[in-house]
Amino acid sequence: MTLLNKEQCSALRGIAIVGIFMHNYLHWLGPMVKENEYTFTQHNVSRMMAELEAFDLSTLIYNLFSFFGHYGVPVFLFLSGYGLVKKYEGTGTLTGTGNFLWKHYMKLFPMMLLGFVVFAMVDWMTPGHHHWTWVDIIAQLTMTINVLPDPDHIIWPGPYWFFGLMMQLYLIYILLLHRRHWGWTVALIVVCTALQAMCFSDPEGETLNRLRYNCIGGMLPFGMGLLEARFEGKVKPVNNATHLFLLLASLLLVVSLSLNFWGWLFVPVFVITAHVAFVRLMPKSAIQPMVWMGGLSAAIFVAHPVTRKIFIPISRHGDILDGLVLYIVATILVAMVFRIVIRELRVKN
């Protein structure tokens, strides 16, 4: 049984990118509950629980995106691992480690270059512009910036760290995991999770922060995608009732495991199962908007830091909804243009 068809994979990308670009706007607003993405802060959990208990819809939806929206990233990592197995461990072939890495670097580079250049121009023309060093610029263009010290302050705009993460995971896949026994993947997941767990005494520290900016923090969802693609043919089909139970149970676990450091390490597992169960339950008519968003997801990813820098002052000055709506509309429109440019850049490369 195939877990996900092409349409469902695209819908997952669509749902994930909505979470990411909403999160990356809202979490910059002072009143919003901040996320636990790279480190774990108990105060953020307490604030989120207080919002859930108050259940004020006028602010709860914003805070849910601010606190949980970054979990779109593990969904993309899962789909990346899933897609690599489907492409290169079935009928697809690899022509060598260097060619594989270069091919995927040049697939990412036009997106990153376009977003980085346009953002830099907009950033310089708007208040509060960032001061890049030549080392930061070269590291960003070579997608190696993740490994430099103090990533919180040198990776700007923030979301583009994802390109460096993907190149690290591509390297791990081709060197260690391609057509290897599933035990290799499990072992790497265990080791990477254990390294993060060893930071339990300093869950807000720089060590954990840097681990999670790099492949160690992304190995769990990426490995899940690899394992799912390899074993899905051995899994019996399940009915909608089972998917509904899995969805509800996963959502409950996402919330409950987020309450403490140890559970938080495994939240991505249930974020992924919730997303998968949700798209499996969606009727064909309802899934189409998310499929469309999925087709635009790469362009939205590179466009949204640009539009965020322009429109977020509106929300910061008190008109949260006005600024957010303008940001959403502008991001989609700019992404539609970016998609065309990215395609042209890829053809030339």
- pLDDT profile of the chain (349 residues), mean per 10: 85 98 96 97 97 93 97 98 91 80 95 95 91 94 94 92 97 95 97 98 97 97 96 78 96 98 98 96 91 97 97 94 97 97 77
pLDDT the model gives residue 237: 73
Whether 188 and 223 have beta carbons less than 8 Å apart is answered as: yes
Whether residue 257 contacts residue 270, with contact meaning beta carbons closer than 8 Å, is answered with yes
CA dihedral over 196, 198, 200, 204, signed as positive or negative: negative
Residue with tokens 């995927």: 104
User: What's the pLDDT at 183?
Assistant: 97
pLDDT at res. 96: 83
Is the entire prediction scored with pTM above 0.85?
Answer: yes
